[in-house]
Amino acid sequence: MRWFINRRPGPVIAHDMIYGYGPALAQGSAAMAHRCGFTPTLLLHKLQEAPFPEIVLRRRPHQELAAVARKQQSAGDAEREMFLAALQL
Mean of pLDDT over the chain: 82
Average pLDDT over residues 45-53: 92
Cα 60 to Cα 53, 68, 74, distances in angstroms: 23, 13, 23
Cα 42 to chain centroid distance, Å, stands at 11
Helix segments in 28-76, DSSP class H: 40-49
Whether the predicted pLDDT of 7 surpasses 80: no
What does pTM read for this prediction?
0.54
Q: Is the pLDDT reported for residue 75 higher than 60?
A: yes
Question: Does residue 15 surpass a pLDDT of 90?
Answer: no
Q: Which amino acid is at 49?
A: E
The average pLDDT across 17-41 equals 83
